[in-house]
Chain A
């Protein structure tokens, strides 16, 4: 926990300054998780604000302060999921939708201005986003939380409110689908 239970209790009882302190304590972590979940830096703050907005209006539904973090992660997952669904509907022209030649041209144009390290990071981000773009939003978020955010199965159980075995099955299947996409990409 990044804050003590007493602060959460104060925020729950309507203390706005306590809520502000909670936001300040968690915003970096939550924004990081959102950035990795959605893969679009320009929309991270917007989704982050949506998470804390939902938190503000749902704090009174929190049973105890002990379950605050899973609760916050659940709100984050839901907001990211809603965002990804909206994006899918909009079907915007994104880098991953462009032809390979367009991507190479864009990379070549941008490459001259970036350091080798930054180029490598960009490639990794694009590769992972491309892989995750080939699986469902549910698979994408679950894998991110487990593999990238490093959450344990116990944490995921609290967030998803399903038992460990069901989670293991879902994780295994999601991983197999990404692995398949990875193999197709490599071949």
Chain B
């Protein structure tokens, strides 16, 4: 079978594109096109809102849970830990029981 020259093929292909353009004219949109479009817009809007709502609910839930945890567990636990059970002087006295007496009586060595 003879092969057509490349240029001829290209011309045929160009002709085919033009024929295809004529064979596929712009279709008219159906009567439901715009109402259907608005339904999809509203559905997307509702979906976005529900996502935001869900995120907000999760955030609120997490905050409440954290607050309860702090109130019930952490705060009482922290209150039980004695941070300052004695004054500075008391601690010094406990560590050096005779120092003051020795100073006062002049028995410092």
Given the known inter-chain contacts A148-B17, A179-B13, A187-B1, please indicate yes or no for A49 contacting B37, CB distance below 8 A: yes
Contact with B along A21-59 (1 / 0, CB 8 A): 001100111011001100001001100111011001100
Measured in the bound complex, the distance between the Cα atoms of B20 and A121 in whole Å is: 8
Whether A179 lies near B9 (C-beta < 8 A) is yes
Whether A148 lies near B33 (C-beta < 8 A) is no
B50 at interface by CB-CB < 8 Å? no
Number of interface residues of B (CB under 8 A): 31
Given the known inter-chain contacts A23-B34, A182-B9, A182-B12, please indicate yes or no for A32 contacting B23, CB distance below 8 A: no
Measured in the bound complex, the distance between the Cα atoms of B44 and A182 in whole Å is: 43
Main secondary structure of the interface of A (DSSP, over half): helix
Whether A36 lies near B20 (C-beta < 8 A) is yes
In the complex, what's the smallest C-beta–C-beta distance from A24 to chain B, in angstroms? 7
Number of interface residues of A (CB under 8 A): 37
Within 8 A of B (CB), among A57-80: 57
Whether B41 lies near A56 (C-beta < 8 A) is yes
When distances are taken between beta carbons in the complex, the residues of chain A under 8 Å from B17 are 128, 147-148
The stretch from B24-32, B86-94, B97-105 touching chain A is: B24-32
Within 8 A of A (CB), among B9-25: 9-10, 12-14, 16-17, 19-25
Whether A20 lies near B34 (C-beta < 8 A) is yes
When distances are taken between beta carbons in the complex, the residues of chain B under 8 Å from A24 are 34
Whether A183 lies near B9 (C-beta < 8 A) is yes
When distances are taken between beta carbons in the complex, the residues of chain A under 8 Å from B26 are 28-29, 31-32, 35
**From B3, B20, B22, B36, residue with most partner A Cβ within 10 Å:** B20
Whether A124 lies near B19 (C-beta < 8 A) is yes
Measured in the bound complex, the distance between the Cα atoms of B37 and A49 in whole Å is: 5
Which partner residue on chain A sits nearest B17 by CB separation? A147
A142 at interface by CB-CB < 8 Å? no
Contact with B along A156-187 (1 / 0, CB 8 A): 00000000000000000001001100110011
In the complex, what's the smallest C-beta–C-beta distance from B42 to chain A, in angstroms? 10
When distances are taken between beta carbons in the complex, the residues of chain B under 8 Å from A45 are 29-30, 32-33, 36
**From A44, A53, A125, A175, residue with most partner B Cβ within 10 Å:** A53
When distances are taken between beta carbons in the complex, the residues of chain A under 8 Å from B30 are 45
Question: Interface of B with A (CB < 8 Å)?
Answer: 1, 3-4, 6, 9-10, 12-14, 16-17, 19-30, 32-34, 36-37, 40-41, 44
Having A35-B26, A179-B6, one finds 11 other A-B pairs with CB under 8 Å, namely A27-B33, A31-B26, A36-B21, A44-B27, A45-B29, A45-B36, A57-B44, A125-B20, A182-B9, A182-B16, A186-B9
Question: Interface of A with B (CB < 8 Å)?
Answer: 20, 23-24, 27-29, 31-32, 35-36, 41, 44-45, 48-50, 52-53, 56-57, 120-122, 124-125, 127-128, 147-148, 150, 175, 178-179, 182-183, 186-187
